[in-house]
Amino acid sequence: MKRYLDELVLNDLGTKMVVVTGPRQVGKTTLARQVMPLFGNAQYLNWDVLPDRGVLQRQSWNPRAKLLVMDEIHKMRGWKGWLKGVVDGRPPGQALLVTGSARMETFRQGGDSLAGRYFAFRLHPFSVREWCEQQQVAPADALDHLLERGGFPEPCLASDSLQADRWRAQYFNDLIREDVLEFSRLHEINTMRLFVEMLRERVGSPLSLASIARDLAVSPATLKRYLDILQALFIVFTVQPWHHNIARAILKSPKVYFFDTGLVRGGQGVRLENAVAGMLLKHVHFLQDSAGKTTALHYIRTKDGTEVDFALSEEGKLTQMIECKLGDNKPHRGLLRFAEQFPDSQSVQIVYGLRQEEFRNGIRITEAADWLMGLSA
């Protein structure tokens, strides 16, 4: 199955090492296997497969391979210095693709620098735009499907929702039991699982680690470390508040969302907000990774409770404010207030199932699926 990053990855492999990261089972290996036949002679090696691990440790792969794919290599001790040596010592004309389920920051922190040696892409679950292009369906149908199944390939393509639910239960258990365990201690797993369960019920609300820490009888610092692990493994992501040029009234707590909307506990409105957050993050990462943009995702909330769900900025300047609603076409109070405060920023209220687009008080009120279809990826 062709993905939205295939051609970009293929183009960049001609000049530098390419690193593709993203959640477990989001399609990184499939993307690599799509690209491999185009090189004729390609070799795939996965650190999690014992025979492959031996080949990687001995560096005994085929030196004539036109493309070398290394999966989950960040799990190797001292892998940064090792990979730097591989990049610098590879034969002329050999392309190198590295994939992994740990966040890109892992490649930027500490140890031997890989700076200037690679291009990076973050692969996301399906969005309205990508699912429409894949399946040739209307945006509204795509959004309904993604709200029901989440955006990961296997549940999206499953024959029925029962198979999708079975996949998700196994996926969640594997994340906690295998991936999280690599970053934390065995005795912490139960607490970590409880923490994730609590986050599933707090999607879209400013996160108070101090409050959850009291409930779980651990320190806020411990929960901060847990949250960092969950982000590093692409299980959750945080959206930080916008704070440039807004009076000191800004609340500093982030909001937390899941990469898999299917993991969210709550009604259709919460699932919609999570899905929109994920698609906006995909849009932002695509612009950053493919075009070097400084686009960033935020939310706006003041101490008096005035809030807008999402905001986009470019080079530190607010460019767009987005409020998502399940069925309310009345201009949102917070959006009205901030539209006056930031007249140069576009204000849009996206409404699920809206029949007629309107412009009221400087706010564009439009159908959610159609608007999401217009994002970059």
pLDDT-based confidence at residue 188 (cuts at 50, 70, 90): confident
Q: CB 321: neighbour CB atoms within 10 A? A: 27
> Mean pLDDT for the chain?
91
Q: What is the pLDDT of residue 249?
A: 35
Q: How confident is the model at residue 103 (pLDDT cuts 50, 70, 90)?
A: low
Q: How many residues does the chain have?
A: 377
Among 107-111, 182-186, 372-376, which range has the highest average pLDDT? 372-376
Looking at the predicted structure, is the pLDDT value of residue 140 above 50?
Answer: yes
User: Which pLDDT score, from 0 to 100, does residue 204 have?
Assistant: 94
> What 8-state DSSP symbol labels residue 250?
B
CA-CA distance, 346 to 351, in Å (whole number)? 16
Q: How far apart are CA 17 and CA 114, in angstroms?
A: 10
Average pLDDT over residues 237-261: 79
Residues 81-110 have a mean pLDDT of: 82
pLDDT tens digits for 291-334?
A: 999 999 999 988 888 999 999 999 989 999 999 999 888 999 99
Backbone angles phi, psi at 69, to 5 degrees: -110, 125
Q: Assess whether pLDDT exceeds 80 at residue 177.
A: no
For 33-67, what is each residue's pLDDT tens digit?
A: 999 999 989 999 999 999 999 999 999 999 999 99
* pLDDT tier for residue 104 given thresholds of 50, 70 and 90: low
Helices and strands of the chain, counted as H and E runs: 15, 13
- Per-residue model confidence (pLDDT) at position 247: 46
Q: Are strands 42-46 and 67-71 parallel, antiparallel or unpaired?
A: parallel
Question: What pLDDT, on a 0 to 100 scale, did the predictor assign at position 248?
Answer: 43
8 Å CB contact between 85 and 112: no
Q: Which residue has the higher pLDDT, 108 or 151?
A: 151
* Of residues 176, 150, 179, 177, the one with CA closest to residue 165: 150
Looking at residue 176, its pLDDT comes to: 78
- What pLDDT, on the 0 to 100 scale, is given for residue 61? 97
What mean pLDDT is predicted for residues 101-121? 69
330 near 312, Cβ under 8 Å?
no
Structure tokens at 322: 């987005």
pLDDT score of 251 more than 80: no
pLDDT tens, 144-176?
Answer: 999 999 999 999 999 999 999 999 999 988 887
Tell me if residue 299 falls in helix, strand or coil. strand
58-90 tens-digit pLDDT? 999 999 999 999 999 888 888 888 999 999 999
Tokens linked to 161: 């929702």
DSSP labels for 18-55?
EEEE-STTSSHHHHHHHHGGGGSSEEEEETTSHHHHHH
Q: Name the E strands within the chain.
A: 17-21, 42-46, 67-71, 95-100, 118-122, 236-241, 255-258, 296-301, 307-314, 317-325, 346-351, 358-360, 363-367
According to the model, what pLDDT value does residue 180 have? 72
Pairing of strands 236-241, 296-301: parallel
Amino acid at the residue 107: F
Ordered domains of the chain (ranges, CATH): 6-122 (3.40.50.300), 128-373 (no CATH)
